Amino acid sequence: MTWRNRVEVSYRALRRNAAAVRAAAGGRTVVAVVKADAYGLGLERCVRIYHEAGVGAFAVAALSEADRVRAAVPEARVILLSSPLPEERPAVVASAYEVCCSGADEVRAFAALASPRAPHPVHVLIDTGMGRFGCGPDEAVAVAAAALADRRLRLAGIATHYPMATAPDLAEAQERLFAGVLAQLPALPKGCLIHVANSEGVLVRPGLLGNAVRCGLLLAGIVPDGCRDPGVEQAMTWVSSLSLVKRLPAGHGVSYNRTRILARDTLAGILPVGYADGYPLALSNRGAVLIRGQRCPVLGRVTMDYCIVDCTDLEAPLVAPGEPVVLCGRQGAEQISVVELARLAGTIPYDILCGLRGRCEVVGVP
């Protein structure tokens, strides 16, 4: 099978990033968030590398993802970050996956499926402002107390989530609510994770409340806008090659709806990458790619399967079909980062990473 484009995931960068995140966490347990196929980088490869690098646990959104983590590293500590479907609960208990519970009803439901001989690990998730999963701070003490008192359960964690770690007033208010709950709890079991900070939180929140952090974007080597770089490196490079090169005269329209009329005679390169592959439509007339280490602007509208770039300013020899192209990543001295692509497309880095689709091969490189 041949591929029109591929993502190359650097093992070296993943190892470097894991070490950098562990250092930034200051001795706290690092929980690697590997949902959505480890943000498009390949769950199994990332889990194995992070585990070897000393990451303490793995967090996912779906039961199917938990199964993949367990298959890759059987001894891994696996945490489901959100409520599984009711019909999935027996499988969660059978596999001993740790699960974040959003209230007393969920705690009771898991207790009913568990046994004192094998207490099931639960985390109490507290909604301090996200408005998604979690119980309210006023309920949290009772929910945690119920989990502590039930011999069929083991309290494995207490958690909350920042909707915006970079907003100091909001983050501080959440931390006060969370700390208020912790202050009312009895001594917690050994190994109980107290986790609040995500990738942004690790970089911007002083003190890092808790004994664990949850990181996904940082492990991929992506530094959120406005945050300091702890020494990570973008682990992915998205590459393709030119499928056709043609000359177009000044005044010629380019792509659907003729949103670009050429101001000069142009050497146009056609790339076999479009929005069906995850290259955003919003990069029409805005994006650029790297060819021979030089930026070549996107001309006209990005289509489902192709985009057209301006190769006119490249030095001799003339580009030809098969010429390597970098859509995101480094080529020579130039780099187009995931953060830059997201900014140009009016979206967030997660959307770029998770948007890579079926016609894009993902491979590991040393």
Which residues are known catalytic residues?
A: 35, 256
Q: Would you tell me how many other CB atoms lie within 10 Å of the CB of residue 336?
A: 22
Q: State which amino acid sits at residue 184.
A: Q
**253-276 exposure pattern, b = at least 16 Cβ within 10 A, e = fewer:** ebbeeeebebeeebbbbbbbbbbe
Q: Would you tell me how many other CB atoms lie within 10 Å of the CB of residue 321?
A: 11
What is d(CA 122, CA 342) in angstroms, rounded to the nearest whole number?
36
Q: Would you tell me how many other CB atoms lie within 10 Å of the CB of residue 88?
A: 17
**Residue 277: helix, strand or coil by DSSP?**
helix
**Residue 165: helix, strand or coil by DSSP?**
coil
Are 274 and 283 a contacting pair, CB within 8 Å? no
Residue whose C-alpha is closest to residue 218's, from 174, 165, 278: 165
Tokens coding 278: 């995850």
**Residue 264: helix, strand or coil by DSSP?**
coil
Q: What is the largest CA-CA distance in the chain?
A: 78
Are 269 and 319 a contacting pair, CB within 8 Å? yes
**118-156 exposure pattern, b = at least 16 Cβ within 10 A, e = fewer:** ebbbbbbbbbbbeeebbbebebbbebbbbbbebebbbbb
Q: How many residues does the chain have?
A: 366
What is d(CA 66, CA 224) in angstroms, rounded to the nearest whole number?
26
Q: How far is CA 232 from CA 14, 60, 224, 235, in A?
A: 9, 22, 11, 9
DSSP states of 182-204 as a string? HHTS-PPPTT-EEE---HHHHHH
